[in-house]
Amino acid sequence: MMPEPENCPGVQTPNAGLASACQGCPNQKICSDPNKKLEDPGKALVAAALKNVRNKVLILSGKGGVGKSTITMLLTRYLSKKHTENNFGVLDIDICGPSQPRLLGVEGESVHQSGSGWSPVSVDDNVCLMSIGFLLGSSDDAIIWRGPKKNGMIRQFLSEVDWGTLDLLLLDTPPGTSDEHLSVVSYLRDDNNEGGDKSLNAIIVTTPQEVALLDVRKEINFCKKQRIPIIGVIENMSTFHCGFCGKYSEIFPAKTGGAKAMCEEMNVPYLGSLPLDPELAKLCDQGEDITTLKSDTVDALDQICQHFANFF
């Protein structure tokens, strides 16, 4: 089978071999055959590239703005400081809105090419990061791509980056259940393992209000349909602690019981909640290490990370 063209709708999509972009493609007859089950040739390349990555965790949420990127960074920072003997990687697959370079304090760094592929950017001695943000001329550049091009970029990140040996790879995803999510799951999930692929799991992030929970329920069902085990749900920005009066406020009121009630309803684990902390938000924006900050949020993060670490 020849490599797919740039505008290919995807060899396993309903439009395979039928879309206008398929006209003249040497693979058209193969793709349009309903009796032919195809596997993306990139899947074998990804498996070979990630053979020394023990665990892969998708950070998901059906809703935008709930703090997936922040949670990814917080987990990475805290776990890497707690477990200095382990190696951690972060892959930013939010193609149109990459924020991990700023959150992890390596904005402006360059990715280098070696004989074994792209070298991810080193954040700490035991943390590395890969993001499309490193490949842009300016942080203000817009990425205006359709699904197939995003799919190709994700495949490159998974198969052409020299990740080395990692104990945990965290994948920061965009909101929704669309192209990027389907691509990364199809490349990472081991469909030949009848007992389920225990190396690929998910953490779901939400805020307490029902408008966020509505979309997060969809994300949970996405994971169940795709056979991705859910480690648990983190409720972000649960309360706000005022540094002046000392009172706690619910900025996003949990009118329907919040994430904990939703987890009980949908039979998924609840990992805990993180209060909104202005000081922590400032450190995140500056790309500083948050582990030394004394706050309720860091204390809550410690409890969540203990649950998370026990999963492995």
Binding residues: 8, 22, 25, 31, 62-69, 242, 245
Please name which of 178, 176, 226, 225 lies closest in space to residue 200, comparing C-alpha atoms: 226
Q: Which residues sit in the known binding site for ATP?
A: 62-69
What whole-number distance in Å separates Cα of residue 79 and Cα of residue 28?
Answer: 47
Q: Which residues sit in the known binding site for [4Fe-4S] cluster?
A: 8, 22, 25, 31, 242, 245
**Amino acid (1-letter code) at residue 43:** K
Q: Are the CB atoms for 87 and 126 separated by under 8 Å?
A: yes
Q: Are the CB atoms for 45 and 275 separated by under 8 Å?
A: no
Surface-to-core class of residue 66, CB atoms within 10 Å of its CB (0-12 exposed, 13-18 middle, 19+ buried): buried
**Amino acid (1-letter code) at residue 86:** N
Q: Are the CB atoms for 111 and 118 separated by under 8 Å?
A: yes
Q: Are the CB atoms for 16 and 30 separated by under 8 Å?
A: no
